[in-house]
Each structure stands twice: as C-alpha cells, then as structure tokens.
Structure 1
C-alpha cells in the first residue's frame, strides 16, 4: 500500500470514528449522551429566546457579538448533525435542515436580511419536527404528551413569527419594547378573533395580514384542542407502513393490518 492510500485510509478511519462518536452523542442513551443532549436542548432554547427578543435588541451594542456567536453554534451543530446522520443525502433534503440553513444565512448577514430576521423563530419548529427535544419525554414514558406539546410549539412559533412580521412591517417607527408588545398584542387579539380594534394595521396589506393570521391561527387552535381532548395515542412506527400513532392497546396497525408489538412503556 503506497503512502497516499495509507493516508486516505487513515483519514477515512478518523472520519468514521468522528461520525460514530457524534452518532452516540446525538442518538445514544448513555449518561454522557443524555447530558450532551440536555446541554444542546438548553442552548437551543436560549438561542430561540434570543431570536424572539432580537427585534428589540437589534440596536444594542452587543447584538452583533451575540448574533455571530449563535451563528458559530448553529454551524457546528448543523455539521455535527449531518455527520451523525446515517444517510447524509437524505438528511440534507429534510425541510428542517433547509430552515436551519436559512436561519444561519440571516445570522451571518444580519443587516442584509434584517427584514427576514423574524423567520429565525422557525428554529423552534425545526427542533420540534426533528423530535430531538421530545426524547426526554419519551424516555420517561410520557410519549403521549408529544402531540399536545408539539401543537403548543406550532402555535407559539406562529405567534412569534407573525409578531416579528407585524413589527418589522408596521411598527418599525415605534421601535423598542413598546412597539414589539403592541405587535404581539395585535397578533394574539387577531388569532383569538377577539378584535378589540384599539390596534389596527393600516392599508390593504394590513387587512390581508389580519385575515391570514386569523385563518391560520384558528386552525392551530383547533389542532391544539384536538390533541388535548381526543384519546391519547402512543408513538410506535409500524414496521410495514411507518404509521406512527396507534391506540395504546392496538394489536394490528389500522392502516396496513401489520401485527404490532408495542412495548408497555411506549
């Protein structure tokens, strides 16, 4: 074996070891892996809190430092998740990955994409869809809470995305915490169809924004109510058709009829 082949083999073995380590950290159940996953979740939630507050923090002196620090974290996290994936090509085609890449672009160019910064809150949706933040619940036998929590996350994501859009589009002249609170107040009043009328968006675009907010908001409220009041389901992917939600006492998949073996702790 020549030196070039040996060097390539060494690099491949190092990459394989790195991928194996990352896979154990992101998907394992050892105490070390659980501590790592908990730390990542805490960091992610802190990042999302910054995204929610960023419209009123944008003029602060430390904004760019925090912005670029978060960009570095997201770059490292995205690369690590990609290396930990069993199929990188399939992983990169997922919508959640594209959302994270878009968020990363807005972080690297915060002033160029200032008007799209409110979309960073979609990071909360991508985390919810990836299932990463729900694993602690499932390990503790609380998997039936996942759908309800996911519905809450979807509603909160929508509220903050719309609030950011309304603030960036209609309240920039009144920038600051008061303007952001007004935008949030309008969003909640519109989504709940309360319609106090003390804050109204001007013009045709303001009316269209209110209409879209009401329609989507009502749909998300209905979804949340369904997840709370309908009978609980367990999350257990069917080996045949991949249907994930089943009755706790189901013996056969209601979609394809395949025999199930749902563990009692699921």
Structure 2
C-alpha cells in the first residue's frame, strides 16, 4: 500500500515479510501481487471447470492444480500471520478468514485417510468460490502494481467487483446445494444463469431452487444486491457531485470540499483563504 517505508539493514524477517506482502512499488512486491492475482483467477477458474463433464484424466489434473494452489495460499496465509504487527488482528481479519475458509475443504480432503469422509467434505469444496472476495484486497487504496488510479475510478472498480462477486459467490453456493438434486442445475453455468435471472428480476422460471439451502442462497443474494449495489453506487454519485470541489478543510468546523471560488466556509462563515484565479 502507499506510504510503506522501504526495508533496511535493521529490518527483522517479520518486517521484510510484511513489507513485501503489502508493497506495490518494488519489483518483488509487484511480482507477488501479480502472481497472487493470477493464482486467484486460476483457483476460481478450476472450480468452474470442475463442474463440467470433462474426462477423468482432466479432472485429476484440475484436482492437482487445486491442491497446489491451495498449498501456496496456505503458505501465504501463514506468512501474513507471521509478518503481521498484530497476529491476533490478522487472524480475525475478514480477508484472512475468507482466505482460510476457501482452502480448508480442499486441504481437509487432501489429508483425510477415509474415502467416505473425504467424499462428504468434498461437497464443501464449492465454498472455495468465496475466494473471489480476495480481489477486494487489491482495492483497499488507489495504488496498484500497475500505477495509481483516481478515487472515482477506484469506486467504479469496487462497484463492478461487488456486482460480479454477488453473482459469482451466489452461483457457487447455489450450485453446491442444488447440483445433486436439481435436474436444471448440472454445471456452474446453470447456477450462474439462474442467479443472474433471479437478481435482475426477470424470473423465467425454467430453473427454480428445490433445496432449502438453494432458496436461502437466493434470498441472501437478492438482499445483498439490494443493499450493497446502491450503497456502492451512491459513493460514485457523491464523488461525481464533488469533482468540481477543492479539498480544503475549514479550520473552524472541519467542513471539507469547497467551491473553487470560495473564500468563506458555507457552513460556519470562517475565512478559509481559498486561492483562485480571478480571470476564471
């Protein structure tokens, strides 16, 4: 993130780990960001592909990729906890909890010595679709590995990410509940189609949830769309409404963002010494 000091000779191993996991500026920091972003896309993509009727050999390849990436994510999780200033806060951080939740079912299947138990746990592997929430880590501030974006652009990115996340997570969870018993849901694409139709209130009715879990996922997705999307959109509208304002803070009342030609605060009347070109 912006503002991180570069590592020096007096840094401890924890400081070095924390720096490079948060850094966007150095070559190493950018490489880590790009690698994690790519692995995240592959991890979610493998989940989608596994829902389609590919050959047993290809399914085995998907499984090996899933396990390999899960182990990388486990190592990253351990390093984040190790390097954090407050390890307790890092463990209970929402992003960290999502990261761990997404890989636990895969790791549980990997280490389970009992095929029956592994098969039952395997049902929970669809939870790894929540890994898409990890992309929010990359939108915590305006600085990215490819440069810096404006606040308005960042908020548009967050809105698009929110829409895709709701669709994707809801589709993944809906699929996990429905694919065994619902004849209309055999792949992730079927589940995604249903979620888009349901959330956009089109409601063709060709696919309907038949399990309690599927119904609750649908309800939760609709509520999330009603609450989160307008909330994110309102931030964009507010940013556009203030794009002609100058970010000057009134020393008297603390009001921010004044008109370009303002000399006094509109809230309290305090002189804010706003400079402007009289020719404009």
Normalising by structure 1, report the TM-score: 0.70
Task: Tell me if 1:67 matches 2:55.
Answer: no
Cα RMSD after superposing both structures: 3.8
Aligned pair 1:19/2:19, yes or no?
no
Distance 1:210 1:136 in 2: 34
- Structure 2 CA distance for aligned equivalents of residues 253 and 87 of structure 1: 35
Q: What is the alpha-carbon distance in structure 1 between the residues aligned to residue 94 and residue 218 of structure 2?
A: 27
Question: In 1, Cα distance between the equivalents of 2:52 and 2:183?
Answer: 7
Three-state SS of the structure 1 residue aligned to 2:79 is helix
- Determine whether 1:149 maps to 2:160: no
Displacement of 1:24 after TM fit?
3.1
Aligned ranges for residues 22-61 of structure 1 at < 5 Å?
Answer: 22-28=17-23, 29-56=25-52, 60-61=59-60
Distance across 2 between alignment mates of 1:57 and 1:97: 33
1:89-100 correspondence to structure 2 within 5 Å: 89-100=88-99
2:125 equivalent among 107, 117, 129: 117
Aligned position for 1:7: none
Contact 1:99–1:126 (CA under 8 A) maintained in structure 2: yes
CA distance 1:185–1:20, shift in 2 (3 Å): same
1:257 is matched with: 254
Change (3 A) 1:126 1:177: same
Match of 2:180 in 1: 172
CA distance in 1, matches of 2:141, 2:77: 15
2-structure distance, mates of 1:157, 1:215: 14
Count of equivalent residues: 235
Counterpart-to-counterpart distance in 1, 2:213 and 2:185:
23
> Which residues of 2 match residues 66-85 of structure 1 at below 5 A?
66-85=65-84
Secondary structure in 2 aligned to 1:113? helix
Once the two structures are superposed, the pairs formed by residues 133-212 of structure 1 within 5 Å of their partners are 135-136=143-144, 139-172=147-180, 179-202=187-210, 207-212=215-220
> Helix, strand or coil: the match of 2:202?
coil
What is the alpha-carbon distance in structure 1 between the residues aligned to residue 250 and residue 206 of structure 2? 52
Q: Deviations over 1:91-115 (max 9, x none)?
A: 2221221221222211202444333
Q: Would you say the 8 A contact 1:128–1:134 is kept in 2? A: no
SS of equivalent residue, structure 2 residue 46: helix
- Partners of 2:70 and 2:107 within 8 A in 1: yes
- Rg larger in 1 or in 2? 2
**Taking structure 1 as reference, are residues 203 and 51 closer, same or farther at Cα in structure 2, changes over 3 Å only?**
closer
4+ aligned runs moved over 6 Å, structure 1: 174-177
| 8 Å Cα contact 1:124/1:157 also seen in 2 | yes
Q: Structure 1: which 5+ runs fail to align?
A: 1-15, 235-245, 261-266
